[in-house]
Amino acid sequence: MVVWVFAGGGEAEVRGLIPFLEQNFSNCKFERKTPARQKPGPKPGKGSSYGRTSQSLIEQIIKELPIALRYEPNKCNLILVFDDLDCRTPELQEKKILDVISTIPECANINKLVVFAAPELEAWIIADWSNSIARHPDFRGRHERMRYWLSQEKDIPFNEPESFSEYDEDRDCCQEKLSEALVDSSVLAEFDSLSTRYSKGLHTPALLQDIRPDEVQRRCPLFRKLYNYLNHFCSSPSNYG
């Protein structure tokens, strides 16, 4: 089954999401439509494909989906839209996206799934800390202290990380960034100055390959929607032939 993936976000999503999906739902073929692949040369500037989320992701879907349908008709079996929720209301964000896709008649008979990482992709890593941060060599000898600091100083609920922070209406995002808290936990003053700093662009994609989806879905209800849907869709005989 062919799944077209329209994802918001930046390096972590580009480098980590598709390999994660391929590793855990191998009966489906995932093709990334957004973010667009970077071409060699200078990093993209403002207004580029990277970092798009919420409304700007919707605008990109409006542009890219009809093109894909025109050049690859009858190929896609599932349109998967993925975005960081950033403390917005999931039902409202899902409706906005589905309402836009519904205006494109060529995809009327194609399955559609809109899912979110709440508040960010790093919630999945937090949810399965023992198989991610705790086992990574860059954080050996520090992971327990990092976890304690995140729990006590940032009030991150490890058993329900999707509930971290609250919506900031003025900025249309979370009041606090989960990824920034994770970075801060890796550079505490008590650590050796040569200790590796957590990198959203490097560590997040790598750690996504280490987490166990069955563990994450126990602590992340929004992730569970993705997990259950793809488990069924990618393995269902009715979706083939």
List per-block mean pLDDT (blocks of 10 residues) for the chain, which spans 241 residues.
90 88 96 72 45 77 95 96 95 96 95 96 97 97 98 97 96 95 97 95 96 98 98 80 47
Q: Give the per-residue pLDDT at 36.
A: 66
Q: Give the per-residue pLDDT at 237.
A: 66
Q: Give the per-residue pLDDT at 44.
A: 46
The full set of domains in the chain, from first to last, is 2-119+215-239 (3.40.50), 122-212 (no CATH)
pLDDT in tens, 142-201: 999 999 999 999 999 999 999 999 999 999 999 999 999 999 999 999 999 999 999 999
Q: Give the per-residue pLDDT at 45.
A: 46
207, 212, 214, 220 alpha-carbon torsion, rounded to 10°: -20
E-strand stretches of the chain: 2-7, 29-34, 78-84, 111-117, 167-168, 173-174
Q: Give the per-residue pLDDT at 55.
A: 85
Of 119, 81, 86, 58, the C-alpha closest to 226 is 81
Contacts by residues 170-176 (CB-CB < 8 Å, ≥ 24 positions apart): 172/54, 172/86, 172/88, 173/86, 173/87, 174/86, 174/87, 174/119, 175/87
Q: Give the per-residue pLDDT at 241.
A: 47
Q: Give the per-residue pLDDT at 218.
A: 98
